[in-house]
Amino acid sequence: MSDPAAYLERLPFWEHLDAGERAFALRNTGLRRAAKGSLIYSRDCACVGLVYVVSGAVRVYSLSPEGREITLLRLGEGEPCVLSAACVVDRISFDTHMETETDSVLLVLNAEAFRTITDGNIYARCFMYEQAAQSFSTVMRTMESILFDRFDSRLAGFLLEEAERTGSNALRLTQSMVAEKVNSAREVVARQLKSFAKQGFVKTERGIITVADAEGLRGIVRK
């Protein structure tokens, strides 16, 4: 579909907008195609507005002063995000960056229009703060996992989730890509994958990690 209205209708507050608000939203919404690795939003970019993932995948991350990236959350098809509208959600005070993990199509309701709609419609405003709260909860779970979960459990869980998400046990991922996704160093990932391979949980080859024993990995997660 190439009609923005078809996707705006999927937003929970859409049915509570009057005809004028809907027309205004449509005039200020567009579909954006973004190649894999495209920067959608950062603290150095202009405020984008409400982003809805029509297809593809988007990663939201934080960047340390030393340049280390920490993945905070991911967005898939059918998921909206308001972190790219920090100028509208005035209680968002931490810096985030958003980039596409695959070739993606995004629906974007520009920041000024989103501000006007949320200022004038209680349902849209509630949606905005609910989305912000959900994003914050996800970020907190991510930070808790980084701080308190064993790394072998985190890596095992990630491999299982990727196998389920892609529908394949053969994951086309390099060690560097895995390190980025699980917020660790490549060397740490390499050591743990070697340990998993010795136990028969995975098989590794250049650019591919194969889940050989899913139940064994689940046992690691449950420990």
Domain 4-146, CATH number (from 3.90.1170.50, 3.40.50.1000, 2.60.120.10, 3.40.50.2000) = 2.60.120.10
What's the pLDDT score for residue 94? Answer: 65
Question: For residue 210, what are the β-bridge partners?
Answer: 170, 203
CATH class of 149-222: mainly alpha
Residues with Cβ within 8 Å of residue 13, at least 6 apart in sequence? 121, 123, 124, 126, 127
Global pTM value: 0.77
- For residue 193, which amino acid is it? L
What's the pLDDT score for residue 210? Answer: 96
Give the Cα separation of 184 and 146 in Å (integer): 9
Q: Where in the chain is the domain with CATH 1.10.10.10?
A: 149-222
- For residue 222, which amino acid is it? R
In this prediction, the residues of the chain whose per-residue pLDDT falls under 50 are none
Per the structure block, which two tokens stand in for 81? 């995000």
What's the pLDDT score for residue 47? Answer: 85
- Strand arrangement, sheet containing 49-55: 29-34, 104-110, 49-55, 80-81
Q: Where in the chain is the domain with CATH 2.60.120.10?
A: 4-146
Per the structure block, which two tokens stand in for 173? 């991922």
Asked whether the CA dihedral 163, 167, 172, 177 is positive or negative, the reply is negative
